[in-house]
Amino acid sequence: STQSNMGEADIQTYTTHEQLKERYAQFIDADESTFAGAFMAPTNGGITIADVADGSLVEYYKSLLLADGLPENAIDLTNASDLRTLVHVAGNEQLREKLAELTKWSELKEIVTDDVMAELNMKVDFARLLHNSRDDHKRLRRFYEEKCGLRDFMNTPDKALTGAVINCFQDLHRMVSTYDWAAAMANAHSELEWEAMMGTEAFELYKNIEDGILDSRRRVWATRFSGEANEEKALDYMLENFGRRTGKVAGHEGRANAEGAEYDREYEPVGRNIQRRVLGSDKKQDTASKRRSRFQSRVADPLARLHRQQIQQTTRFGIH
C-alpha cells in the first residue's frame, strides 16, 4: 500500500548531475528577483541625519520642513534621500552660502533638483559598490547586509546569497558597459583617480557619506568605554573568576587553590568558549614547574645525567 502511493519521481534513481539539478532546482537555482537593483539604490550605511550632521543643521532641516507645513511628528530623520541632499549642500561651499536665504524645504529642492541628486546618487552608489567590494570580507559582509537587508548570514539560504552576488555583478556590469566614467573608475588603481572621473561634487558627497559611516561606527564603539561604572574593571573581575572552578577537577586536585581549580582547555570538555586569562597563580605554577623540572633533571633522572656526561666527553675532544 505504501508503494502504491509513491510516484515515479520518488523511486527513480538520480544518477546524473542534470537529473539531480532538475529534481532539486528549487533548492539550487539562485533567486535573482529578490535583490534586483538593490546595490544601486541610494542607502547610507545605516546612518541618519542626526548621525552625520551637527545639531544646528538638523534644526535647520526641521525648520525648513515645518515652514512647508509638515507637522513635527511627521518629520523623518531617517530619510535617505533627504540625508544625501543635506550632505551634498553642507559639503558644497556655493550651496552652503545660499542656505541663509532659504526658508522652506521646497525652495532648497528647487536648487538641488531630483534630477541632479539622481545623477549624483548613481555615481556615489557606484563608488560605494567598488569601495566596499574590493576591501576585506567584514566590510563586504556589512555592505551586503546594508543593501539586501540581511541580518544573519548563517540563517540565510545559499540561493538567496547567490542571488545577491549575481545581482551585485549584474549592476556592476550594467554600469561599466553603459557609462564611460564607470568603466574608467573600475579600471582605476586608487580612489585618488576617481575625482576626475566622477566629478568633484559626486566625489565629495561619496567621501562625506563614507566618513559619516566610519564616524558613526567609531561613536558606537566608544560608548563601550564611556560612563562611570568601571566596566573594564568589572569585566576583568568577571573574566578572572569565570576562569576558576568552585570545586576540584577530577585528576587535577594538585592545581586547586583557595578559589578552586582553574579552567583550562587542556582538560575541559569540548565546546567551551570562555576566554582563558593568565592569572597570578599560573605564573607561580609555571615557575614552580620549571624549578622542579630543573631539579629533577640534575638529580633524579639518571638517563639525563648520562646524556649530559656523553655530551661533555664529545665536546671535550672536539668531536661534534
Of 185-194, 261-270, 295-304, which one has max mean pLDDT? 185-194
| Residue 170 vs residues 60, 68, 148, 158: alpha-carbon distances, Å | 40, 40, 15, 18
Per residue in 137-152, is it b (16+ CB within 10 Å) or e — as a string?
eeeeebbbbbbbebee
pLDDT in tens, 183-194: 999 999 888 899
**For residues 114 and 131, is the Cβ–Cβ distance under 8 A?**
no
| Residue 267 vs residues 119, 208, 223, 275: alpha-carbon distances, Å | 62, 52, 37, 15
**For residues 157 and 24, is the Cβ–Cβ distance under 8 A?**
no
pLDDT in tens, 277-293: 556 666 666 666 666 66
Rounded-to-integer distance, Cα 283 and Cα 290, Å: 11
Verdict on whether the full-model pTM lies above 0.75:
no
pLDDT in tens, 4-50: 565 666 656 666 777 778 888 887 788 788 888 889 988 888 788 77
262, β-bridge pairs: 244
